[in-house]
Amino acid sequence: MRERINDPARISLMLEAIANIQEYLSECPTYDSFASNKLLCHAVFYNLQCIGECSYKLSRGFVQAHPEVDWQAIEGLRHVLVHDYYTVDTATTWAVIESDLPGLKSSPLS
């Protein structure tokens, strides 16, 4: 049986995934450079999936203590990336990266 990962460890993994995305995008800082790079898109999608999975598995107490974070939206994006990957829109993903990730990084995750 695997050891249960606690909330601080999940938060650490989420911050690591955000840092990965920011590092990857430092080489392709525009939407066009992102959207035209299939490998980069897949790497970013994977890290967004990791963020969503960690969010999904946070304790109920932690989630309830931080209602300022839209946990359902984070989980919802993960479900789309995993189960409906063929519908993923790079423009929407870029908007999430630009508008939501900085706020998430400076939220209860930090």
Write down the residue that tokens 């999608």 correspond to: 45
Write down the residue that tokens 């508008």 correspond to: 99
Per-residue pLDDT at 107: 79
Alpha-carbon distances of 109 from 62, 85, 102, rounded to whole Å: 11, 26, 11
Per-residue pLDDT at 30: 94
Contact (CB, 8 A) for 80 and 103? no
Per-residue pLDDT at 97: 94
The answer for residues whose C-beta is within 8 angstroms of residue 10's C-beta and 6 or more apart is 54, 55, 57, 58
Per-residue pLDDT at 1: 56
What's the one-letter identity of residue 86? Answer: Y
pTM, entire model? 0.90
φ, ψ of residue 108 in degrees (nearest 5) = -65, -5
Per-residue pLDDT at 84: 87
Per-residue pLDDT at 85: 80
Per-residue pLDDT at 5: 81
Per-residue pLDDT at 60: 94
CB 70: neighbour CB atoms within 10 A? 14
pLDDT along the chain (110 residues), means of 10: 80 96 93 95 96 95 93 93 88 93 82
